[in-house]
């Protein structure tokens, strides 16, 4: 079987100075939050240098999304010293069998849960976990992940299943809508809605009705789309600008970065790309077309 994850040639990827320069231009345009994601960003051999370079720009919020498989106390301290503000760790199940089936990796769910605890001990705040909720796959795990959020005083975020799979075999029958996710967690831990932290936040947040620590977040792009308030812009590792996760067109920054363009020209290019952001993703619309890139090469 052909692997569904392929590594790009190194010369097609942005260098650390190029990545930091793009971040610098974005900061000059008013960006104050930068998230390093993937794929798996901890595989990058110069991740700490990237964190340090972005943080040195004065970005108040430098975040990392990771699968937690390459984290220990030493590397967490290194990232914190470099300027990393907060960490989100993906964990779709605490059950070892289901975790292995979803991730197709040799990492254990217990090791990822320990990575979450290590991030808390290292002083990152907030620490969040992400889980994609899928009917017939991990719906029974959602209350257990909510319990982890209560135990560790973190935020557990549950994400509706989206058509961004590498096999292009998205099954709407596996979609657990936000209402169902909330009901399943709420049956064990009654929840109090808080709404969105900011108008552009992707997550609907909840606290526990009994006053326990921790929070629940629901990211529902399919049944409760938030496209109208979305302020995110994604830049891939190979320098492509994507105004939306579901963009069918990409804007290539690499020729500008390697062709002598000034920061003003790069900034104008980013602005032009942003103006092409579509009104909505259209997942449920007739004729919806899934983008060629899967989530693993776009970044969450």
pLDDT of 3 reads 47
Closest CA relative to residue 22, chosen from 233, 275, 229:
233
Helices 73-82 and 47-55: crossing angle in degrees, nearest 10, is 30
Task: Please state, in angstroms and as integers, the Cα–Cα distance from residue 26 to each residue in 33, 84, 147, 271, following that order.
Answer: 10, 18, 38, 10
| C-beta separation of 49 from 15 below 8 A | no
Q: Which of 167, 174, 181, 152 is nearest to 89 (CA)?
A: 152
DSSP, collapsed to helix, strand or coil, labels residue 143 as helix
Structural tokens at position 156: 């557990």
Predicted confidence at residue 264, as pLDDT, reads 98
Q: What pLDDT was estimated at residue 97?
A: 95
* Residue of 280, 298, 241, 296 lying closest to 6 (CA atoms): 296
pLDDT at 166: 58
pLDDT reported for residue 1: 36
Helix (H, G, I), strand (E, B) or coil at 154: coil
At residue 37, the pLDDT reads 92
Tell me the three-class secondary structure of 22-82, residue by residue.
HHHHHHHCCCCEEEECCCCHHHCCCHHHHHHHHHCCCCCEEEEEECCCCCCHHHHHHHHHH
Those residues whose C-beta lies under 8 Å from the C-beta of residue 225, and which sit 6 or more positions away, are 280, 281, 283
pLDDT of 226 reads 78
Please enumerate in sequence order all residues whose Cβ is within 8 A of that of 238, keeping only pairs 6 or more positions apart, or say none. Answer: 8, 12, 13, 14, 254
The per-residue pLDDT for 228 is 76
CA 165 – CA 67 distance, rounded (Å) = 17
Report how far residue 153's alpha carbon sits from residue 279's, in angstroms, rounded to the nearest whole number.
36
Domain ranges across the chain: 127-232
Dihedral angle, C-alpha 205, 121, 33, 175, nearest 10 °: -40
> What is the C-alpha to C-alpha distance for residues 145 and 48, in angstroms, rounded to an integer?
29
Strand order in the sheet with 127-133: 33-36, 61-66, 86-90, 127-133, 155-160, 215-219, 203-208, 191-195
Dist. CA 232–CA 245, nearest whole Å: 9
Stretches in the chain below the pLDDT threshold 50: 1-3
């Amino acid at each position: 079987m052909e692997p569904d994850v392929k590594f790009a040639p190194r010369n097609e990827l942005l260098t650390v100075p190029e990545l930091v320069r793009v971040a610098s231009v974005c900061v000059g345009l008013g960006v104050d939050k930068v998230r390093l994601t993937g794929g798996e960003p901890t595989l990058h051999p110069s991740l700490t240098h990237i964190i340090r370079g972005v943080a040195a720009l004065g970005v108040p919020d430098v975040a990392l999304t990771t699968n937690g498989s390459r984290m220990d106390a030493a590397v967490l301290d290194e990232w914190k010293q470099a300027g990393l503000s907060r960490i989100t760790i993906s964990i779709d199940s605490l059950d070892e069998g289901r975790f292995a089936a979803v991730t197709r990796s040799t990492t254990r769910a217990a090791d990822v849960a320990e990575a979450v605890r290590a991030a808390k001990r290292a002083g990152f705040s907030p620490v969040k976990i992400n889980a994609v909720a899928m009917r017939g796959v991990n719906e029974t795990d959602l209350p257990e992940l909510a319990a982890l959020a209560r135990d560790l005083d973190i935020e557990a975020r549950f994400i509706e299943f989206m058509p961004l799979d590498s096999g292009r075999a998205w099954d709407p029958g596996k979609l657990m809508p936000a209402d169902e996710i909330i009901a399943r967690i709420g049956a064990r831990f009654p929840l109090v809605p808080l709404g969105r932290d900011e108008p552009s936040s992707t997550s609907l947040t909840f606290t526990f009705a009994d006053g326990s620590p921790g929070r629940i977040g629901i990211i529902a792009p399919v049944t409760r789309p938030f496209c109208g308030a979305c302020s995110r812009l994604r830049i891939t590792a190979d320098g492509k600008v994507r105004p939306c996760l579901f963009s069918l067109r990409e804007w290539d920054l690499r020729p500008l970065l390697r062709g002598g363009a000034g920061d003003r020209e790069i900034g104008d290019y980013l602005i032009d790309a942003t103006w092409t952001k579509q009104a909505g993703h259209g997942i449920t619309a007739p004729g919806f077309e899934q983008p060629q890139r899967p989530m693993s090469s776009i970044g969450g």
